[in-house]
Amino acid sequence: MIKAAVIGGSGYTGGELARILSRHPGISLEAMTSRQNAGRPIAEAMPFLRGFTGLEFVERLPENGDFDVVFLATPHTASMRLVPQLMERGIKVIDLSADYRLKDPAVYEEWYGHQHSDAVNLSKAVYGLPELFRDDIAGADLVANPGCYPTCTILSLAPLLEKGLVEGKIIVDAKSGTSGAGQEPTRSTHHPNCAVSITPYKVGTHRHTPEIKGVVDGLTGKDIDVIFTPHLLPIVRGMLTTSYATLVDGVTMEEVAMAYRSVYDEERFVHFTSVPAIPATVGSNFCEVGFEVVGSTVVAMAALDNLVKGAAGQAVQNANILFKFDEATGLDFPGLGV
């Protein structure tokens, strides 16, 4: 049995990790940290886990704790302080923060306003999008779990980029539920302020922009202009991205469809469909992708649950790869449908 711990376990992502790991047949959740909840039963703070875990939150992991993998559900800048000591102990790390997603420390500093303090491990980190990088993930000690918006966006665009079917800039119109903002309420996520509106935010400045661009550039070998605009949806879970790109002259709809099928027909967690639907993915680790061609423009669409395939589920999928489990272990359940 693989022994796991979660650092920063009191938020939505930590709760999802606990929910999934509590039923995983090969990974045992041994500890979860939370400074504000230390000493409190996890199932008391998260009643949906009653009967599934008898653990209490701890303030920090014991220094002599016997863990095979640690999931970091921590804010950015916190992970880079924790990763070196964990890796020195021979523990594999799956970081759900942004600290190891951007390979260039200068880009990280530009977008996050902090100097990266762990350049050595940053160079070793593997970007944890299994459908594109599973071979690299399999041999990694440190996995940078992707953000939810980048996961959704990149999975919708990857067949077009890998097959060289598009050119020029990419425009991403993205929409996500309020759980993506975390548990702490804000003015913009307060229900009366967002329940009857779809609100764009951080236009041109959202920190997932360089993450999306980094993968897009890597897949194409070019410097691609990515314009990313997120919106807040008046729902709790789920996200939808709609991306626009120009087709290379002569590319047909049939060639586009063939590209999607060739990339995703054998993938367990990506479904190629006509029009992706958020309800089909909520509560699951599945992502639906689809496309439409309008003149010389291809519209690439995707939907997923931002807390599962966009965060905790993908982290467990990465753990499955690291420890040689079938990728669907502990994750093979459908979306809620409503």
H or E segment at 159?
helix 148-162
Of 127, 154, 8, 20, residue with least CA distance to 77? 8
Q: Which residues are within 8 A (CB) of 246 and not within 5 positions of it... i.e. 6 or more apart?
A: 166, 167, 168, 296, 297, 298
Q: Which residues are within 8 A (CB) of 157 and not within 5 positions of it... i.e. 6 or more apart?
A: 166, 170, 216, 243, 245, 300
**What's the helix, strand, coil split of the chain in %, to 5?**
35, 25, 45
Q: Which residues are designated catalytic?
A: 148
Total-model pTM: 0.96
Angle at the Cα of 302 from the Cα atoms of 218 and 320, rounded to 5 degrees: 70
Beta-carbon count within 10 A of 242 CB: 18
3-state secondary structure labels for all residues of 74-112: CCCCCHHHHHHHHHHCCCEEEECCCCCCCCCHHHHHHHH
Provide the pLDDT for residue 182. 74
Provide the pLDDT for residue 281. 98
For each of the chain's 338 residues, which pLDDT tens digit applies?
999 999 999 999 999 999 999 999 999 999 999 999 999 999 999 999 999 999 999 999 998 889 999 999 999 999 999 999 999 999 999 999 999 999 999 999 999 999 999 999 999 999 999 999 999 999 999 999 999 999 999 999 999 999 999 999 999 999 999 998 777 777 777 778 778 889 999 999 999 999 999 999 999 999 999 999 999 999 999 999 999 999 999 999 999 999 999 999 999 999 999 999 999 999 999 999 999 999 999 999 999 999 999 999 999 999 999 999 999 999 999 999 99
**All domains of the chain, ordered by start, with CATH?**
2-146+309-322 (3.40.50.720), 149-306 (3.30.360.10)
Q: Which residues in 126-206 belong to E strands, given as ranges?
A: 126-127, 142-144, 166-176, 199-200
Provide the pLDDT for residue 15. 96
Provide the pLDDT for residue 194. 77
Provide the pLDDT for residue 54. 96
H or E segment at 186?
none
